[in-house]
Chains A and B, each alone.
Chain A
Amino acid sequence: MIQQRSKIAKFQSLIALLLMCVVLSLLSDKFLTFANGWNVLRQISVNVCISVGMTLVILTAGIDLSVGSILAFSGAIAAGLLKFGIALPTYDLYIGFTLLGALLAGTLVGAALGTFNGFVITKFKVPPFVATLAMLTIARGFTMLWTKGYPISSLGKEFSFIGTGWFLGIPVLVWIAAIVVLLATILTNRTAFGKYIYAIGGNESAAKLSGININSVKIWVYALAGILAAVGGIMVTSRLNSAQPNAGLSYELDSIAAVVIGGTSLAGGRGTIIGTVLGAMIIGVLNNGLVLMDVSPFWQQVVKGVVILLAVIIDKANHKEE
């Protein structure tokens, strides 16, 4: 019965999304066009990537506030290495980076910072909120140090293909987001690791007594969140063909919003990747529609907040007996 109801609940966000699309296409003739459709999907692709990582973290009853900063730092690392490489004058050494090398390095930085988050949270029992809040400022500080506060721009055609190019009639950004979503869906549904994530969020002490290595699962989850933030960072940097030191500012909030609107419980143990994708789409369509209708950006923020509240209230009603 409850499963049935949660199926309906899953449809609720889909229905809400479709309803929004219908209303917006009636209100604006620019909304329901192919160009705008791809535009929206490209805009949300970064948030989708980050939010997938955020979903995994929140499923374990954690939170990751550092994704926006990790995004900026990873993007800046990739851009800096690609453009300048590493010069060590004392040893008379210069290391240049290929595109792939720079992307890999950026992703590794994201993985390292995420792993550090997980390590602090599990070994020193620092609450995730605090640990990742610290990382939020640490990674932002590193970004400023690395970029000296200036954007790193003109990164070449090859690099900007990721953010602006098309492949088989679909934007590359959308391909990346789709692949991330697919892999994460398989991970959560079909692997032991995925079940452990749900078990830890649902009842950590039962999971522990079941012989699950809680710490290792959690460290992996934060590492994945870091990797996905780095992927997001590369996407953002490539789209602008420039690494901005203040990129990804407050992205963690949009990401948490997408997860919550998608029906994932902040208490952990309940939620789906596909729900988060719908959540990100709802936010994306809303932003896009309000812009098309010339609504003041200040009002856009108010509307977004109201939508988050509505989503959570509806979700609560669906899970009343909890």
Chain B
Amino acid sequence: MLEALNITKKFAGVTALNAVNLRLMPGKVTAIIGENGAGKSTLMKILSGVYPDYEGKIVYKGQEVHFANPREAQHGGIAIIHQELNLIPDLSIFENIYLGRELTDQWGFVDRKAMRSNTQQLLERLKLNVSPNSLINELKVGQQQVVEIAKALLTDADVLIMDEPTSAISEQEVDVLFGIIEALRDEGKTIVYISHKLDELFKIADAYIVMRDGCVMESGEMGDVDHDGLINKMVGREIQLLGQAHRAVGEEVLLSVEGMSLQDTRIKQNLIVDHVSFQLRRGEILGLFGLMGAGRTELLETIVGMHHARRSGTVWMEERTLHLKSPQQAIREGIVLVPEDRKKNGLVLNLDIKTNVSLSRLSEVTELGFINRKKDLELARQYVDSLKIKCSSPMQQTKNLSGGNQQKVVLARCLVTKPRVLLLDEPTRGIDPHAKNEIYKLIVSLAEKGMSIVVVSSELPEILGLSDRVMVMCEGKLTATFQAHEANEDNVLRAAIPKTI
């Protein structure tokens, strides 16, 4: 169906793809796997016309093609769902879905009615229960991802490329998505599926292609490999998956949250966080699980003092009530939030690693009003070494780092503040297994040093493998709390799924 021959792509002298060959068959789901920076996304961007200049050739439906832009590729029938969301926040769902291919009536005017009803059908097919008129910025990241998928489905593409489509959506939605993918495959579509979540690939993929360092290392049938074998092929070395943490945690309560609520911005009666109370012990890793829209992110945000006008409830730290009104005050009290979306809320991408790391604590390296550059660099170097951030130097701009290393820079920036409570929102979203493992180890070692940590995650194995205690939220409410040994996929998920649909 689609064949790539000897594709080479260089970015300003750096080879991102090196003579890659690839063959995609109709009626099959082909998984492309590899660590971040292996070249998967670059290859997909070439196939879908995003990068028009490359060496090599692409044969599509038996003819050599060269797409000059994504539009041409779309017309040819190749659609891509990018890892990063490409939606316009102030437009509605249906306007986004039809962007650039609006339906018009016989007078040449935009036919909103038709677009709206088609969108409604699409959303129903994807089981996304929101109005086509909703604005994108009213949606959660997970819902936005579903809209992104709807957008690709609309083009009636023959080849559908999905780059990490499940990185922001809950397991329930993953099942819906897989149902759709299976249906599309049975219609004879060619599907490319990129994901770090190997379990998903075993569920959905028929064939696999392993990439490493810009080359295709291996390909074959999914049935011929197992989980560990696939991981070994990806990293080229054995990696150890995190075992269940069974650590002794003391009884001493460090942080205590009582009756925390957050009102919706427009409908005041709606509570996004609904009277949540919990206690966090010293040195404890508390896993917080919930489907999208459960209010996990918002809970963490209210704890560090954001949205204080719409918030009610109390936060105690060691018997002392905190009245936090900004993340700045929270940092002063030793509570720091590592946000979910590192590019949007975590990093200043234009600045170098050094400045990003020391941003929260520039006062510490300032002498007589001037930044002591040596101290500043030393501070950064210390964290670059201890967190194993892969970079040419601490002066490297953060936008050139891989996702895993960017995440480590955000973590470093938060650790520099010497927090006692670390709130991690999806700390391993969209990063490769190797970096993931490093971050798990770091979290455990921080807890062992006495830091209290809350980990929000959509990935059950991550929550179950990491937490001393698991808390589950659903529709803003706290629905269950389990000790590590009581928690399993079944009871945690059960508590997370809304009772009334």
Contacts and interface: CB of A to CB of B under 8 A. Distances in A.
Interface of A: 1-3, 5, 186, 190-192, 195-196, 198-199, 202-203, 205-213, 269-270
A211 B13 contact: no
A202 B345 contact: no
Given A1-B13, A190-B371, A211 B355 contact: no
B435 to A, nearest CB: 20
Contact of A191 (B336, B347, B359, B369): B369
Interface of chain A: mostly helix, strand, loop or mixed: helix
B359 A207 contact: yes
B359 A202 contact: no
Contacts of A203: 344-345, 347-350
Contact of B348 (A186, A192, A199): A199
Interface in B430-478: none
B400 A2 contact: yes
Given A1-B12, A208-B326, A211-B331, A195 B371 contact: yes
Given A3-B395, A206-B345, A206-B346, A198 B362 contact: no
B370 interface: yes
Nearest to B14: A1
A269 B349 CA distance: 9
Given A205-B344, A208-B326, A269-B350, A2 B397 contact: yes
Contacts of A210: 327, 331, 359-360, 413
30 contacts: A1-B12, A2-B400, A3-B397, A191-B366, A191-B369, A191-B370, A192-B363, A195-B351, A195-B359, A195-B362, A198-B350, A199-B355, A202-B350, A202-B351, A203-B347, A205-B344, A205-B345, A206-B345, A207-B359, A208-B326, A208-B327, A209-B304, A209-B327, A209-B345, A210-B331, A210-B359, A211-B417, A213-B328, A269-B350, A269-B351
Interface string B11-55: 011100000000000000000000000000000000000000000
Interface string B322-339: 000011101110001101
Interface in B340-396: 344-351, 355, 359-360, 362-363, 366, 369-371, 373, 395
Contacts of A190: 370-371, 373
Interface of B: 12-14, 304, 326-328, 330-332, 336-337, 339, 344-351, 355, 359-360, 362-363, 366, 369-371, 373, 395, 397, 400, 413, 417
> Binding site of B, secondary structure by majority: helix, strand, loop or mixed?
mixed
Contacts of A195: 351, 355, 359, 362, 371
B424 to A, nearest CB: 13
Contact of A202 (B304, B349, B400): B349
Nearest to B342: A206
Contacts of B370: 186, 190-191
A208 B330 CA distance: 11
A196 B347 CA distance: 13
Nearest to B372: A190
A269 B400 CA distance: 16
A131 B216 CA distance: 55
A263 to B, nearest CB: 13
B425 to A, nearest CB: 11
